[in-house]
Homo-oligomer: A and B are copies of this chain.
């Protein structure tokens, strides 16, 4: 039995990504992922409830967003608080050393409907986390929903640019995307 390793979750994700690229998501088993990572099936299931989940690393992103929004300066407007949350993502999750993994991961997700479905629900759940965090700042419900939707849109735009671009950091890309989304005059 493999012993617990501090980076087991990351090794499982890397092994899964390699195997999904080599053989396709459908043709890869949890046992193969665990073996490639030098771990056991039971270790896999200690980190992930199912095969789909291995490319979605746990609930840390949600906690990060909530923490950043709740702790934004009192005077910050809803979209300023959302911008702080996207900055926090850039500092801790979408870091330069994760760019290549993220680009490969996204290509695998885009090619598989099951994975796209899970990604879609994760996005809704993360938007809901932002709405809840904005609510804790006293932002009215509908305003929080609009701000979170616009933030999610800017996030998606910045993410696509970040994995394509090769050099720009996620945080500044997200700030720029959010500024452009804010400036859209669609309300007329």
Contact = CB atoms under 8 A, between A and B. Distances in A.
Interface string A177-188: 000111011111
A153 B124 CA distance: 11
Contacts of A79: 186-187
A5 interface: no
A187 B185 CA distance: 10
A147 interface: yes
B150 A186 contact: yes
A120 interface: yes
Interface string A135-153: 0000000110111011011
Nearest to A49: B113
Contact of A118 (B117, B147, B152, B184): B117
A182 B142 CA distance: 10
A77 interface: yes
Given A142-B184, A143-B185, A149-B152, 10 more contacts: A77-B188, A113-B121, A117-B117, A117-B118, A142-B180, A143-B186, A146-B184, A147-B186, A149-B150, A182-B187
22 contacts: A77-B186, A77-B188, A78-B186, A79-B186, A79-B187, A113-B121, A117-B120, A121-B121, A142-B157, A142-B180, A142-B181, A143-B184, A143-B185, A143-B186, A145-B153, A145-B157, A146-B150, A146-B153, A146-B184, A147-B186, A149-B149, A150-B186
Interface of A: 77-79, 113, 116-118, 120-121, 123-124, 142-143, 145-147, 149-150, 152-153, 157, 180-182, 184-188
